Structure 1
Amino acid sequence: MTMQELYAARVADGTLSPDPAQEAALAPLERVRAKLAKPARRGFLGFGAKAPEGPSGVYLWGGVGRGKSMLMDLFHEAAPVPSRRVHFHAFMQAAHEAMHEARAAGTRDALAPFAQSVIAEVRVLCFDEMQITDITDAMLVGRLFEKLFAGGVHVVTTSNRVPDDLYKDGLNRALFLPFIDMVKDRMIVHELAAARDYRQDRLSGQQTYFVGGGALDEVWAALTSGASEGLTLRVKGRDLRLDDFASGVARASFADLCGRPLGAADYLALARNVRVLILTDVPKLDRRHGNEARRFVTLIDTLYEARVKLIISAEAEPEALSPGDVFEFERTASRLREMQAEGWGGTD
């Protein structure tokens, strides 16, 4: 099926609602899908392969909740060649780990074995939520994409940012600019300028703060269709693992995020990669929970500043979570209230 046929089928069976902006994004995706359906001339494991004519992928960008991940998933389903769907951050982490192993083995070009393993496995990589915030990723991604494109791999990726805003204000950004030029030269850059935020629609009128538990499994299912690919964030040489993550939505317990020795760097990494957080089982906080309470305050401050949508289950209302001003909790309670407002959440 073409992208247009697949989209029309989903509209017909009621899975999707027709959206002109989404329909406009089908054309560049179909252009790449049709190209992939033709026989490709490739050398052994990509070596010596003739550079393919036409675009090497699609860079689909736009606001949160507009349907970018859904369209990418449709492309992944329709791809006529081996395709892998992976969160961008997880893929880059795998690249770094593979390079570490290659260096330990004395490999001169530590990136080559990883790139060739990808080239040998797939012809399409579908990246969800491309964003560059780490200098090590910024310095690596250009060389990696150059090798993948040369090996005949195509890339379909989503992002909240136009390519020119990737790694904006980052350290040594001048060294990163050739990658932006590569994206604009080799890929079709398409803005999904939908007016409707479907993620907010799914949350519209829905309760987002539950006292004493709540139907959070149903909320998770509504936002992710119950699917989970997980996400591992590399922070200062260690891993922060989220078992429940899909399409920018994460679910974790208070113990997961505040009961362990995490800090601002961990929460910043979380906020950069998650647009909706379902946080469960927040207890009342007193002096016995001093460390956990301080982490919770830092977590809420970080999510607030990043305008991450928060859905939470807690033992008490925000104002009653901490007795008096034991942890200077008044600001946190106020922010928890504000984050329950209709339409809260970022669009960058």
Structure 2
Amino acid sequence: MKTLMDIYAARVAEGRLRPDPAQEAVLPLLERVRRELAQQPKGKSGLLSLIGGRRKPEAVRGLYLWGGVGRGKSMLMDLFYEHAPVPARRVHFHAFMQEVQAGIEAARRAGTADAIGPVVETIAADIRLLCFDEMQITDIADAMIVGRLFEGLFARGVTVVTTSNRVPDDLYKDGLNRQLFLPFIVLIKDRLEVHHLHSPVDYRQGRLTGTPVYFHPVTDEVRATIDDIWTDLTGGARESLTLRVKGRDVVLPRFHNGIARARFWDLCGQMFGPGDYLAIADAVKLMIIEDIPRLTRSNFNEAKRFVTLIDALYEAKVRTICTAVDAPERLYIEGSGAFEFERTASRLREMQDASWGED
């Protein structure tokens, strides 16, 4: 059986990947998880093991891979997932927690005293491996349940491999009632090997080198260019992401591996506030905003939301690609918000610089 190191080397030889010592150092760690999973007996997990009377395999010690944006974390996890020797699922962490919250709510409506239990059993019934992309905790509802959730998954033999932009100690940093969350960090360190992918190269940034990131006006050619950029960065992925923020659903129509794509009206045509845009900025590492219109007194509220959105993306150093009716300085030239928009125009211009967002 070919190892992950063999597969990676073959892709380098084919020109599909560039050799990177920091990435290569991760491969033996993932191969260790893969090997230990392959060596386990083919037992059943969850309720199936209890009904059948067969002892379920114990969870293998997984991997928590963290590091900066664009260093190849998701690529390495996908390589591992593609060659997993056991039933597995790969999912973005935000989307997973949305499913968990929905499952807990359904269990509560059914009168179940321990609402997390049925959710754990459902997840563990058919898989032995969970691969998470972008583990991060921003919602207090998630923070209060992840400890018991993961304890249940580990107890039922589910192994976890995850990527994150944060070291475990910085998860849910400065969050409300964070002291109640700290046992989860201890659990992560105990059940997952923590490794820092410290590559000096931002491959995502490199793919945009020399590529404009602000297009105006919006023509068929511009739309085709955006489609090409999306395909290059995501492979043409079509999945979406729903963020739950203070009881509201914030939907990013297109999302893959931290890259999001949405129209102006998707983001600013709804009654979103600063918290919603902060959640977007926290979940996204590259944002494509399409069809930014002329901003006037007739769409004053939408313009205000756009200002808040750009502020959130700017402060979070989210690389941003835009298509718009005009240049930043000419988007909002009349109306009560025109003066305040000058700062937003300046930020949009600054965000076009090739080196913007670099550490």
Q: TM-score, normalised by structure 1?
A: 0.95
Q: Find the counterpart in structure 2 of residue 344 from structure 1.
A: 356
Show the counterpart of 2:229.
219
In 2 relative to 1, CA 142–49 (structure 1 residues): closer, same or farther, beyond 3 Å?
Answer: farther
Q: Residue 6 of structure 1: SS of its match in structure 2?
A: helix
Runs of 4+ in 1 over 6 A off after TM superposition: none
1:227 partner SS: coil
Question: 5 Å matches for 1:319-338?
Answer: 319-324=329-334, 326-327=336-337, 328-338=340-350
**Aligned-residue offset at 1:228:** 3.3
Code of the aligned partner of 1:21: A
Using the alignment, how far apart are the partners of 2:278 and 2:203 within structure 1?
25
Letter in 2 for 1:337: R
* Residue aligned with 1:37, SS: helix
C-alpha distance in structure 1 between counterparts of 2:87 and 2:358, whole Å: 34
1:67 aligns to what? 72
User: Does the CA contact (< 8 Å) of 1:58 and 1:189 recur in 2?
Assistant: yes
Question: What pairs with 1:137-286 in structure 2 (closer than 5 Å)?
Answer: 137-213=142-218, 214=222, 215-286=225-296
For the Cα contact (< 8 Å) 2:40–2:57, is it kept in 1? no
Q: Distance in 2 between matches of 1:148 and 1:254?
A: 39
Deviates more, 1:4-13 or 1:181-190: 4-13
Q: Map of 1:17-36 to 2, 5 A cutoff?
A: 17-36=18-37
1:35-73 per-position Cα deviation (integer Å, ceiling 9, x unaligned)? 1112335565355856737x4211000000000000010
Shift of 1:324: 4.5
Q: 2: CA distance between counterparts of 1:315 and 1:24?
A: 46
Give me the CA root mean square deviation.
1.6
Q: Which runs of 5+ in 1 are unaligned?
A: none
Q: Return the letter of the residue paired with 1:202.
A: R
**Residue of structure 2 aligned with 1:312, choices 310, 322, 347:** 322
Q: Deviations over 1:77-108 (max 9, x none)?
A: 01011111101011111111101110111111
Instruction: Tell me how far apart the structure 1 counterparts of residues 56 and 89 of structure 2 sit (CA, whole Å).
Output: 22
1:269-313 CA distances to partner (integer Å, 9 max, x unpaired)? 111100100000001111111111111111111111111111000
Any conservation in 2 of the 1:56–1:153 contact (CA below 8 Å)?
Answer: no
User: Is the contact made by 1:51 and 1:150 (CA closer than 8 Å) also made in structure 2?
Assistant: no
Q: Is contact 1:308-1:346 (8 Å) kept? A: no
Question: In 1, are the aligned partners of 2:297 and 2:335 still within 8 Å (CA)?
Answer: no
Aligned partners of 2:135 and 2:163 also within 8 Å: yes
The total of aligned residue pairs comes to 346
Alignment deviations for residues 5-30 of structure 1 (CA, whole Å, 9 cap, x no partner): 22112112211111100000001100
Please report how far the alpha carbon of residue 222 of structure 1 lies from its aligned counterpart in structure 2 after TM superposition: 1.5
Name the CA distance, whole Å, in 2 between partners of 1:109 and 1:254.
42
Task: Give a deviation string over 1:108-162, Cα, whole Å, max 9, x none.
Answer: 1101111111111111111000011111111111111101111111111000011
* Conservation of the 8 A alpha-carbon contact between 2:58 and 2:156: no
Q: CA deviation at 1:334?
A: 0.5
Tell me, in whole angstroms, the C-alpha distance in 2 between the residues paired with 1:16 and 1:108. Answer: 50
> SS at the partner of 2:173?
coil
Q: 1:50 to 1:346 in 2, by over 3 A?
A: farther
